[in-house]
Amino acid sequence: MNPLASLLAFLLAPFLSAWRRRAVLRELSVREIQGAFSGSMLGLGWIVLQPLASLAVFSLVFGVIFKQANGMEFVSNLFTGLIFFNAFSESVTRASRLVLSRPNYVTKVVFPLDLLPWPLVASAALHAGASLVLLLCLHTAFVGAPAWTTIALPLLLVPVLLLGLAVSLVLASLGVYVRDTNEVVRVAVQFLFYLTPIVWPLDRIESEFFRSLVLLNPLAIATEAARAALHGSGGPGPLPLTALMLGTLLALALGHAFFRRTQDGFADVL
């Protein structure tokens, strides 16, 4: 096999693994989504109420108290950032206990363990999709009709979700061997939130050097590109977006390879 074909096979390995077991993956995803709302009085209504509640809190704190506001445009930009960050963090914050919470999958049955993070990403995609629809409704009602480039928003979500999957695969494995992983992840996600231009605009950074450093954060690239698509303004540019997509595919392939390499020791630890 030539090097290009080997690289392509390596990059596609996570997707081919999921596709071969798509029936199992579909069942796991349905259970994950149903389980998240089972026993809840409002059920799927929380898909709308949760982002609205978060948006209200952040708008109050940063828009009113800290006076970062620029009217409803600030709220729209804030909501965009929250949607993209939550699409990443929803799976990542739960990943380290995925295998630990299902020891029977490791010790008593033969199960494709590398599928476990996928339902978390499916749930994150559902929440992000519903939030995008809500964002468009709010933006249209209070700011104005979004630009035609808004059609790119779902495409911009794809690398964010895949990046969450890549990190989740690594954390799911590490969580088996290092039980403190979950606590470290909580702190790291909070730290990452404030390093991403969500509650603060990127244009506040006057130095091109520091702005370039911020754009090394893939979530910053996706967030800025999403805002640009919503308003029809200039975004990060094609080079950062291409780097985001290719880097995400490589990260996912590496995360999948890491999980597959380390999963043989799960039974010994559990």
Residue 201, SS3?
coil
Q: Which two tokens stand for residue 111?
A: 């199960």
| 131, 50 contact by CB (below 8 A) | no
User: Which of the four pLDDT bands, split at 50, 70 and 90, describes residue 121?
Assistant: very high
pLDDT of 67 reads 61
Beta bridge partners, 70, equal 72
pLDDT at 51: 76
If you average pLDDT over every residue of the chain, what do you get? 86
At 16-59, the pLDDT tens digits run 999 999 999 999 988 888 877 666 666 666 677 777 777 777 77
* pLDDT at residue 62 in the model: 65
At residue 2, the pLDDT reads 78
Res 122 pLDDT > 90: yes
Q: What is the pLDDT of residues 230-268, one digit of tens each?
A: 988 777 778 889 999 999 999 999 999 999 999 988 888
Contact of 83 with 124, CB cutoff 8 Å: no
pLDDT band at 223 (very low <50, low <70, confident <90, very high): very high
Residues 162 and 120 sit within 8 Å (Cβ to Cβ): no
- Beta-carbon contacts of 158 under 8 Å, excluding residues fewer than 6 positions away, are none
Residue 170 reports pLDDT greater than 70: yes
Percent with pLDDT over 70 in the chain: 91
Name the pTM for this structure. Answer: 0.90
Give the domain extent around 137: 3-269
d(CA 125, CA 122) in angstroms, rounded, equals: 5
pLDDT in tens, 126-167: 999 989 998 998 888 888 888 898 999 999 999 999 999 999
What is the total count of domains within the chain?
Answer: 1
